[in-house]
Amino acid sequence: MKIALINENSQAAKNQIICHALETVVEPMGHEVRNYGMYTAEDDCQLTYVQVGILAAVLLNSGAADYVITGCGTGEGAMLACNSFPGVICGHVEDALDAYTFAQINDGNAIAIPFAKGFGWGGDLNLQYIFEKLFCEESGQGYPRERAVPEKRNKQILDKVKEVTYRALPEILENLDQELVKGALSGEKFREYFFADCKCEEMAEAVKKVLN
């Protein structure tokens, strides 16, 4: 599984701390981390939490990433932005229990973490515990296990609802402010990672149109 890490501008200084915690946990599991930045607070590409949502949607809908780890000061803005787009189910995760129950009950493909609120002494350890419980077993098995059948049914219902309530992402990208979208896709390593990992030609063409 390819796991993308995205930081917005207010918490960009923590990128390496977050990336290290993520790699420490998931690489021994056989997963691959793609760090899309921001890498420092001084990066030329300054991502807002709204642009985090755009980037996350592009990565997930194209198959360039299987999972997105992101956040902001409180985690709320990044979560709302991610959930504004089709193909993204993003949970707000503050601790290991949140991570485990979101994975098992909601079976999403992105999480938003508060990287400022409550992030004090031991914050790096909390991140590792979150990632351990998020990826410790197959997602969507239900919790508690006796609730597995109705929970899987509810997730399928949600997926069907999202198919109706959202337009196709290439159409959305075309109708958004193009400078906003281009800014979201202008990170230092975006082109290198995205075009190597993208599995959807339609999404690749939509991204090329934005960037060109």
**Count of domains forming the chain:** 1
Strand partners, 32: 2
Specify the pLDDT at position 76: 98
- What is the CATH classification number for the domain harbouring 149? 3.40.1400.10
pLDDT of residue 31: 98
Beta partners for 2?
Answer: 32
144: preceding bond cis by omega (within 30 degrees): yes
How far is 21 from 200, CA to CA, in rounded Å? 30
What confidence tens digit (pLDDT) does each residue in 184-198 have?
Answer: 999 999 999 999 999
Nearest to 34 by CA among 67, 79, 71: 67
E strands, 38-188, in order: 67-72, 90-92, 110-114
Q: pLDDT by residue for the chain (212 residues), tens digit each? A: 999 999 999 999 999 999 999 999 999 999 999 999 999 999 999 999 999 999 999 999 999 999 999 999 999 999 999 999 999 999 999 999 999 999 999 999 999 999 999 999 999 999 999 999 999 999 999 999 998 899 999 999 999 999 999 999 999 999 999 999 999 999 999 999 999 999 999 999 999 999 99
Let me know if 108 is exposed, middle or buried by CB neighbors in 10 A (0-12, 13-18, 19+): buried
User: Is there a cis peptide before residue 38, judged by omega within 30 degrees of 0?
Assistant: yes
**The overall pTM is greater than 0.85:** yes
Residues 119, 112 contacting (CB under 8 angstroms):
no
Query: What distance in Å separates the CA atoms of residue 140 and residue 137, rounded to the nearest whole number?
Result: 9
Give the separation between CA 177 and CA 137, rounded to whole angstroms: 39
Helix (H) or strand (E) holding 127: helix 123-134
pLDDT for 210 equals: 97
DSSP tag of 29: G
What's the pLDDT tens digit per position in 150-162?
999 999 999 999 9
Which residues constitute the domain of residue 123?
2-211
From the number of C-beta atoms within 10 Å of its C-beta (0-12, 13-18, 19+), residue 62 rates as: buried
